[in-house]
Amino acid sequence: MLDHLVPGGVELCEVYGDAGPEGVACLFPAEQAVVRGLSGERQREFAGARRCAHRALTRLDIVPEPLLPDVSGAPRWPRAAVGSLTHCPGYRAAVVAPAGEYAAVGIDAEPAAPLPAVVAARFLADAERRSARALGAALGGSADRLAFCAKEASYKAFSPWLGRRWGVRDFAVRLAADGLFRGVAPEVRKGFEGRWEVRSGYLVAVVCLTAEGWSGPLSVRVSPGSGWQ
């Protein structure tokens, strides 16, 4: 379990492997309608991540609702919750928190493999590549993809407030060997922290922004939508 990546009161649910056809059958009818006609792989991604989200909502005593994508593709969460979904081959996860206590959350997962050089050059700044190299030397492997994962989780947390005018590479992160990373979001003159983990062949990064610390700075930006998947 990755409970240590999130503070108390936040739920992180994960599953390994792909859900079979029964996974789609367990979704709400409205969710099933969204993936009808899509490839089997896309259905499994959609179903696995949402089953994690439904479980996390239940653990928070929030009645699960259909998590339907908005026009941007981001899932629309119940009013009482903020959340984020992630999926990659063989892994699906969701992080969910009470909306009254948290302004936003973000999660991303990636296979624990080196990031292609062309992707690193496009999405990672020089300082990020340096911190990734330093961490990779300490861990005995490449950490470029971990930096990308941390940037993606940061983007998912902030995107409902900042809108889509910003992308993953606009977020700056610095990895630390203690499982933390520090970041800066565009247009927000305040740093934030996230947590990362490498386990079972996957990289996972999570950002949780408390309502007490972030509702003020974020409320002057774009009104929150739902979160980015």
Residue with tokens 């990020």: 128
Share of the chain above pLDDT 70, in %: 91
pLDDT of residue 226: 40
**What are the φ and ψ backbone dihedral angles of 220, each rounded to 5 degrees?**
-85, -5
Q: What are the tokens at 226? A: 């739902």
- Residue 51 corresponds to which amino acid? R
Strand, coil or helix: what is 135?
A: helix
Q: Write down the pLDDT at residue 25.
A: 79
| DSSP 8-state assignment for residue 80 | T
Question: Which residue, 151, 161, 194, is CA-closest to 12?
Answer: 194
For the ranges 14-23, 38-47, 55-64, the lowest mean pLDDT is seen at 14-23
Least confident of 10-14, 60-64, 146-150, 224-228: 224-228
Mark whether 101 and 117 lie in a shared domain. Answer: no
Cα–Cα distance for residue pair 114/98, rounded to 1 Å: 35
Average pLDDT, whole number, for the chain? 89
What is the domain count for the chain? 2
The CATH number of the domain where 123 resides is what?
3.90.470
Quick one: pLDDT at residue 190?
87
Instruction: Specify the DSSP class assigned to residue 60.
Output: T
* Domain containing residue 19: CATH number: 3.90.470.20
Q: Who wins on pLDDT, 139 or 33? A: 33
- Cβ neighbors of 211 (< 8 A, separation 6 or more) are 99, 100, 101, 102, 103
100 and 112 fall within a common domain: no
* Residue ranges making up the domain that contains 44: 3-107
Q: What is the pLDDT of residue 73?
A: 82
How far is 53 from 17, CA to CA, in rounded Å?
16
- Among 51, 84, 107, the domain-final residue is 107
Say what the pLDDT of residue 228 is.
38
DSSP string across 188-226: --SEEEEEEEEETTEEEEEEEEEHHHHHHHHHTSSPP--
Compare 136 and 10 and report the one with higher pLDDT.
10
Residues 139 and 163 in one domain: yes
> For residue 37, what pLDDT is reported?
86
Asked which of 107, 137, 165 is the last residue of a domain, the reply is 107
- In angstroms, the first-to-last Cα distance of the chain is 21
Say which residues have a Cβ less than 8 Å from residue 61's Cβ, sequence separation at least 6: none
Q: Are 160 and 79 in a shared domain?
A: no
Model-level pTM?
Answer: 0.91
Looking at the fold, whether 73 and 161 belong to one and the same domain comes out as no
Round to whole Å and give the CA distance between 84 and 207. 10
> Tokens for 6?
């999130």
**In the predicted model, what is the mean pLDDT of residues 167-175?**
93
**Averaged pLDDT, 84-111:** 96
